Amino acid sequence: MSDWVVKFIFIVVIFALSLFIAMYSTYAERKIAAFLQDRLGPNRAGPFGILQPLADGVKLFFKEEFIPRASDKWLFLMGPGLFICTALMTSAVIPFAPDLMWDGKLISMQATDLNVGILYIFGVVSLGVYGILIGGWASNNKFSLLGAIRAASQNISYELAMGLSIVALIMVTSSLSLKDIVSQQSGWHWNVIYQPLGFLIFIICAFAETNRAPFDLPECETELVGGYHTEYSSMKLGFYLFAEYINMFISSAVLATLYFGGYQFPFISSMDPGIAKTILGAAVMFGKIFFFIFFFMWVRWTLPRFRYDQLMNLGWKILIPLSVINILLTAGFILFKS
Amino acid sequence: MAIIKLTSRIKVMERKPMSFMERIYLPAVFKGMAITLSHLFKKKTTISYPEQKRPMSDVFRGLHILKRDENGAERCTACGLCALACPAEAITMTAAERKAGEQLLYREEKYAAVYEINMLRCIFCGLCEEACPKAAIFLQNDVMAPPSFERGDFIYGKDRLVEPFPQI
């Protein structure tokens, strides 16, 4: 098999996997929410309700496809598509497993090893807000517009702090390629040990970027009906909700890659690059990802939503100065060590 | 101006500035998350209804039943005391005279030809049960009036109220 066929198969697998994980994240969210509140959660569709996501999907497809007459039709249709598209694009630079030795060739378990992988993720993530902004604006609804404006300002505010926390990380790793960053974290040399403050800032910003509680102000049912997707119905709404879960999966993967050693586990260096190593590495990586997905849900069902001024205060007055201090501290340590 | 105390249990809120640990919020956040995590492993309070049912009290007042006597004859004599006692006016009946050869069907000379309870009006107070001189009507403690989409379904006639013949 030529290289590009392998790559194509890999990309399709990752694509399908993201969708599958996003699908079952909805189920997991409902189950975890229920368990944290001493309930049972969905348990009617199939054993333990594992067919619930399929039932939800079928339901969404059969709902009425409604486009408001006052809306900008093409932008209205484009919003959800753009959102889910950018959500799916981010997984391209994440190394999901160690390289596989097959037929004497090393096959990379990463769609593409960009030498500016982190910048690529940032670029695509900041494109993601266009999906919300366009959808909210095109709906021609006050609530949607407010949700969209909130989403835009929230993402801009928190991207700054996120970028600054990443700067400190890059000073430690001295590489922008995610593959290099992962391979540097062999054994227990996880970046979270060297960058605890950076990790804290990054994870808070990741919550804000994915519009998850306690930063889910763009949706904010209690204030804005449904926020930017008030006017959406059927599978277009499904796309918005689905993309949120894909974003959660991707940001969990990024968190695991940048700070928790990606596919690295303690005795990985003593193994030969074969199928066993790849599968074990992938299992470790997905274990970390699932932990973070659980963490996202755990936080969502614990903390109440921030008020908008609190959100902005936290972003501008606390996180950005903190991440600047983090950069200075990191620089000081590096200078001191050398 | 003197403050008039309406109760001796007044607690005065102290508005002091938050300490550093309180202001960084994270300890409180972790405490909250520990609480929610502990609930993950707690026993669920949900009862999966159609499969599991709550135990009902012995004195629960559910769906009515018109009893038969030991020979299988209907006890009700259509005296109308239950209808009179009913505060919701849910019971209507028409009396009829027992014909010869119906002794096994009806206990007394008079019986209820039509006996209807409107379950939408009924408040399940059990006064009919108390009023009945013949111990004919009872509220069961293990059966409830099932839901329905049709109003007509809630008017229970003798077909659904009378106790089935004892199986011999």
Q: What is the mean pLDDT of each run of 10 residues along chain A (338 residues)?
A: 79 88 89 88 84 88 85 85 87 80 72 81 85 86 86 87 88 84 79 84 88 78 77 85 88 88 76 76 88 90 86 87 91 86
Predicted TM-score (pTM) of this structure: 0.79
Contact A38 B45 (CB under 8 A): yes
Provide the token pair at B80.
């109308």
DSSP code at position A63: S
The pLDDT value given to residue B154:
92
* Domain enclosing residue B103, as ranges: 64-161
Within a 10 A sphere around the Cβ of A243, how many other Cβ atoms? 24
Distance between CA atoms of residues B71 and B37, nearest Å: 62
Contact B46 A32 (CB under 8 A): no
**Minimum mean pLDDT range among A283-292, B7-16, B112-121, B123-132:** B7-16
Task: With respect to residue B132, please indicate whether it lies within any of the assigned structural domains.
Answer: yes
Selected residue of B33, B43, B48 to mutate for chain A interface (largest A Cβ count, 10 A): B33
Chain B partners of A302 at a C-beta cutoff of 8 Å?
29, 32-33, 35-36
Confidence class for position B167, pLDDT limits 50, 70, 90? low
Confidence class for position B100, pLDDT limits 50, 70, 90? confident
**Distance of residue B55 Cα from the nearest chain A Cα, in angstroms:** 20
Contact A40 B46 (CB under 8 A): yes
Confidence class for position B137, pLDDT limits 50, 70, 90? very high
Question: What residue has token string 């949900």?
Answer: B46
Chain B partners of A301 at a C-beta cutoff of 8 Å?
36
Residue B40 is nearest to which of A36, A40, A43, comparing CB atoms?
A: A36
Express each pLDDT in B74-90 by its tens digit.
889 999 999 999 999 99
Task: With respect to residue A41, please indicate whether it lies within any of the assigned structural domains.
Answer: no
Interface A–B counts its CB contacts (< 8 A) at 34
Chain B partners of A203 at a C-beta cutoff of 8 Å?
none
Confidence class for position B1, pLDDT limits 50, 70, 90? low
Q: Is the dihedral of CA A84, A88, A89, A91 positive or negative?
A: positive
Q: Which contacts (CB < 8 Å, 24+ apart) does range B108-112 have?
A: B108/B77, B108/B134, B110/B77, B110/B78, B110/B79, B111/B74, B111/B76, B111/B77, B111/B78, B112/B74, B112/B76, B112/B77, B112/B78, B112/B158
pLDDT at B118 over 90: yes
* Domain enclosing residue A273, as ranges: 66-337
Residue A218 CA, chain-centre distance (Å), reads 17
Provide the token pair at A172.
């430690």
Task: With respect to residue A227, please indicate whether it lies within any of the assigned structural domains.
Answer: yes
Provide the token pair at A326.
């983090």
Per-residue exposure over A181-215, b if at least 16 CB sit within 10 Å of its own CB, e if not: bbbbbeeeebbbebbeebbbbbbbbbbbbbbbbbb
Domain count along chain A? 1
Within a 10 A sphere around the Cβ of A103, how many other Cβ atoms? 6
Domain count along chain B? 1
Task: With respect to residue B34, please indicate whether it lies within any of the assigned structural domains.
Answer: no
The pLDDT value given to residue B125:
92
Task: With respect to residue B55, please indicate whether it lies within any of the assigned structural domains.
Answer: no
Q: At what angle do helices A117-138 and A142-173 cross, to 10 degrees?
A: 180
The pLDDT value given to residue A79:
85
Task: With respect to residue B148, please indicate whether it lies within any of the assigned structural domains.
Answer: yes
Contact A37 B39 (CB under 8 A): yes
Contact B42 A38 (CB under 8 A): yes
- The amino acid sitting at A293 is I
The pLDDT value given to residue B168:
57
Residues near B26 by beta carbon (within 8 Å), at least 6 away in sequence: none
**Distance of residue A301 Cα from the nearest chain B Cα, in angstroms:** 8
Average pLDDT, chain B: 87
**Distance of residue A3 Cα from the nearest chain B Cα, in angstroms:** 46
- Beta strand ranges found along chain B (DSSP E): 64-66, 91-97, 110-118, 137-139, 155-156
Distance between CA atoms of residues A245 and A292, nearest Å: 12
More confident residue, A71 or B132: B132
Provide the token pair at A112.
């593409």
Task: With respect to residue A36, please indicate whether it lies within any of the assigned structural domains.
Answer: no
Task: With respect to residue B104, please indicate whether it lies within any of the assigned structural domains.
Answer: yes
- As a three-state string, the secondary structure of A317-329 is HHHHHHHHHHHHH
The pLDDT value given to residue A65:
84
Residue A38 is nearest to which of B29, B33, B44, comparing CB atoms?
A: B44
Task: With respect to residue A40, please indicate whether it lies within any of the assigned structural domains.
Answer: no
- Spatial contact of A251 and A202, defined as CB atoms under 8 Å apart: no
Contact B48 A298 (CB under 8 A): no
Contact A40 B48 (CB under 8 A): yes
**Distance of residue B27 Cα from the nearest chain A Cα, in angstroms:** 13
Task: With respect to residue A155, please indicate whether it lies within any of the assigned structural domains.
Answer: yes
Q: In A, what residues contact B, Cβ < 8 A? A: 32, 35-40, 43, 298-299, 301-303
Distance between CA atoms of residues A290 and A21, nearest Å: 9
DSSP code at position A24: H
pLDDT at B150 over 80: yes
Closest residue on chain B to A41 (Cα): B46
Contact A35 B44 (CB under 8 A): yes
Closest residue on chain B to A43 (Cα): B48
CATH number of the domain enclosing B119: 3.30.70.3270
Express each pLDDT in A160-177 by its tens digit.
888 898 888 888 888 888
Task: With respect to residue B19, please indicate whether it lies within any of the assigned structural domains.
Answer: no
Distance between CA atoms of residues A78 and A67, nearest Å: 12
Contact A298 B37 (CB under 8 A): yes
The pLDDT value given to residue B84:
92
Residue A12 CA, chain-centre distance (Å), reads 19
Backbone torsions φ then ψ of B148, nearest 5 degrees: -155, 160
Which of A329, A18, A5 is closest to A167 using CA atoms?
A329
Express each pLDDT in B28-51 by its tens digit.
889 989 988 888 888 888 888 888
Which of B110, B116, B120 is closest to B159 using CA atoms?
B116
For residue B50, whether the previous peptide bond is cis, meaning omega lies within 30 degrees of 0, is no
Task: With respect to residue A6, please indicate whether it lies within any of the assigned structural domains.
Answer: no
Contact A299 B45 (CB under 8 A): no
Chain A partners of B36 at a C-beta cutoff of 8 Å?
36, 298, 301-302
Task: With respect to residue B76, please indicate whether it lies within any of the assigned structural domains.
Answer: yes
